[in-house]
Amino acid sequence: MKATYHPGVHKYALFLVAYAIVLLTAGALVTSEDAGLAVPDWPLSYGTLNPPMIGGIAFEHSHRLIAAGLGCLIIVLSFVLWRREERPWMRYLGFAALGTVIVQGMLGGLTVLKLLHYWLPVMHACVAEIMFAILVSIAVFTSRWYVQDQPQYVDSGSPSVHSIVTLNALVIFLQVLVGAGFRHHYLSLKPHVFGAPVVLAMVIWTAAVLRHRFSEVPAIGRVRKLLHSVVGLQIILGLIALWARINSADDPQPMPTVVISTVVHTVVGAILFGTSIITVLVCDRLIPRRREILIATTKGEVPA
């Protein structure tokens, strides 16, 4: 793999990750404030780009504006990657980010036009996570660490570390999906509450395997600790969100405790999923797959 480190491109990718967190927060605020249908039309808001910013309109319209901003920033990112990246798959990843943000914008519009029906808000919440994961991946792939030569480590355990970290990311995504199903009134809370111990067990297993097999690798140690801390935080936030929902069941409108706790839990959910993707990428960079070792050995590149 030959690639040049472009500090500017990497910093820009990091900026987009931070911007996406702001956008996820703005989106989650729309849901928690019950403002999803405060603006009935799309792509314009009340037929204009500048509606009166009052009540729910302020939340919904500012979410749309921030989302449009991300769309523009991603157009620039995909152009820059197209011009400067030597790795062809990175150029396609830039287009994937662009395609996802377009799909996400259209899903947002349909969510409004179809009055929050057909699981559209759940799809919108989940595609937001996928888009965030793509931006996080671009930030990892453009980092100096990823581009530089790195020592390679052999995974002699079974199942392979790659299978375990991929399953870990999948389980976290499913937990996000059922969380969104509940948040948008399509599912009961049960699958999400029962999913929490499954996620915790999966993260503990993943981290234990990483510690046993690769205790000497600093980068793997760092992602392992990050994964543990974010999942712990997320479970505490989930309990707080549930407590707030139960306590405000009879309130006529969303109260600040509910809004803050559910928004933070939703956003940290995306950060946890992003962390699980970083774990996959770090393992992918440092630990060759058995298939790759076999090919290299056959070609005589690695002593048998």
Positions that interact with ligand HEM (CB under 6 A) = 23-24, 27-28, 30-32, 36, 42, 60, 63-64, 67, 70-71, 101, 104-105, 108-109, 111-112, 116, 121, 124-125, 128, 131, 172, 175-176, 179-180, 182-184, 192-193, 196, 199, 234-235, 238-239, 241-242, 245, 262, 265-266, 269, 272
To ligand HEM, the closest distance from the beta carbon of 147 in angstroms equals 27
DSSP state of 287: S
Q: Of 28 and 93, which has the nearer Cβ to ligand HEM?
A: 28
To ligand HEM, the closest distance from the beta carbon of 221 in angstroms equals 22
Q: Of 94 and 108, which has the nearer Cβ to ligand HEM?
A: 108
Pairwise CA distance, residues 186 & 216, whole Å: 45
Q: Please enumerate in sequence order all residues whose Cβ is within 8 A of that of 256, keeping only pairs 6 or more positions apart, or say none.
A: none
Q: Of 99 and 109, which has the nearer Cβ to ligand HEM?
A: 109
Q: Give bridge partners of residue 297 from the DSSP assignment.
A: none
To ligand HEM, the closest distance from the beta carbon of 200 in angstroms equals 6
Q: Of 208 and 296, which has the nearer Cβ to ligand HEM?
A: 208
To ligand HEM, the closest distance from the beta carbon of 53 in angstroms equals 15
Structure tokens at 208: 């234990």
To ligand HEM, the closest distance from the beta carbon of 155 in angstroms equals 26
Q: Please enumerate in sequence order all residues whose Cβ is within 8 A of that of 56, keeping only pairs 6 or more positions apart, or say none.
A: 30, 33, 34, 35, 37, 38, 39
Structure tokens at 150: 């790195």
Total H helices, total E strands in the chain: 10, 0
> Are the beta carbons of 3 and 86 closer than 8 angstroms?
yes
To ligand HEM, the closest distance from the beta carbon of 270 in angstroms equals 7
Give the count of beta carbons closer than 10 Å to the beta carbon of residue 85: 20
Q: Of 133 and 147, which has the nearer Cβ to ligand HEM?
A: 133
189: left (phi over 0), alpha (psi -120 to 50) or beta: alpha
Q: Please enumerate in sequence order all residues whose Cβ is within 8 A of that of 152, keeping only pairs 6 or more positions apart, or say none.
A: 286, 287, 288
Q: Of 24 and 147, which has the nearer Cβ to ligand HEM?
A: 24
